[in-house]
Amino acid sequence: MKDVRLLLALGLLAVFCVQCGTEEFPVPDASTQADFTYTITNNGIAPCEVIFLNESANATTYEWDFGNGETSSEENPSINFSDAGTYTVRLSVGSENPDLHYNTLEKVVSIAIRDQPIKRLYFTDRTDGRVKYIALDGSPVPIIQEFSHSGMGKPYGMCIDTIRGKVYCTDYKYQLMFQYNMDGSDVQTLMSEPTRNFDSPFGIFALEDKIYWADTAGIHRANLDGTGTEVFIDVEITTAPEMPLDIAYDHIGDRIFFTNDKYEFSGGVYVVDMDGSNLTKLVDGTNGGALALDANADRMYYYDHEKGMCLNTLDGKNEVVFDASQMGSFTWGLAVDADGGKIYYPDKQAGTIKRANLDGSDVEVFIPAEAEIFPHAMAIDKFN
């Protein structure tokens, strides 16, 4: 009898619990959530198109305000932005249950549209040991601006890290390496004394999270802050190549090109894979200094003390001397402006900066002697 009463009680309790669950804890209405993502064409540079992807949940209507005077009620609109600026984009959505307190009926996002990047030609000037730069904006009278930091002795190497907005320079005379912001601020001395991996530096380039440089002992690399120096290619003065000078990275072939000293050694232009293999001499006997690549066009440019400014294919088999007047005036800097169709290089004897078309034609003086500069290393930047 007790068992029957117990089972009856348990049954009533189960019924009561089920009724409580269905009556006091009902399934809530679905909320409405405004949400969207977007992609921008032309690398976010005006003019560009922004394509919006609506990811709202349980919305019935869509009202967009793009912050540029345009609106839309489309689900997935695409909008053109002709001017640079920061635009506040607002999506407001309708709901079948607009009064639910857990609705989110609006999403607001700021979208930055950038202006055209400022292209600059940077160069080192031994007159006062500074980095200087010129905006390549088509101005008929280029204006030279300069970093406040000075005192470099023989600044033979320069490169731009456009991803992080940094300028790197090497100083052969005082055995230094510097890092700057693009405007010359926040100067950092990354290396300040000779070591086995850093001794009288020449050319330099930045790639991903490393900097590579040539010096009297080979090609070396380090982290972007100068830590973790290590040997990339070791050289011996008894075996060619004996002393790399300028270096350049081939982004298509994933290779390093470099010139070899001929003042004391055998000269030449060499290439090596990024894993250190397949070291190959491309041009024999070049008495070189500066080197630059336009890999997309299968071109390399280099200086030969005995010939002048040279243009060649990347296999080294089609050399053309395009400015013989540079012969005898050792050149440390070359900068390729592929978009602008120009190659820039210094004439340090004349105190000028020259430029030519990428095929070597139409050589002209870009910065005249009246600027009173003594230009050496060069690099072009498109960072904004």
Task: Give residue-wise pLDDT tens across range 306-318.
Answer: 999 999 999 999 9
Q: Quick one: average pLDDT of 165-190?
A: 95
The confidence score (pLDDT) of residue 114 equals: 83
What type of residue sits at position 331? T
Peptide bond into 98 cis (omega under 30): no
The residues, any chain, with a CB within 8 Å of residue 161's CB and separated by 6 or more, are 167, 168, 206, 224
Return d(Cα 128, Cα 149) in angstroms, integer: 10
The overall average pLDDT reported for the chain is 90
Which one has a higher pLDDT value, 278 or 7? Answer: 278
Query: What pTM, to 2 d.p., does this model score?
Result: 0.73
Q: Quick one: average pLDDT of 257-280?
A: 95
Q: Quick one: average pLDDT of 163-167?
A: 90
Task: Order the strands of the 176-181 sheet from edge to edge.
Answer: 157-161, 166-171, 176-181, 188-191
The residues, any chain, with a CB within 8 Å of residue 48's CB and separated by 6 or more, are 40, 41, 42, 80, 81, 113
Return d(Cα 173, Cα 376) in angstroms, integer: 13
The confidence score (pLDDT) of residue 25 equals: 58
Peptide bond into 241 cis (omega under 30): yes
Domains and CATH numbers, the chain: 36-113 (2.60.40.10), 120-381 (2.120.10.30)
Is-contact 335 292, C-beta < 8 A?
Answer: yes
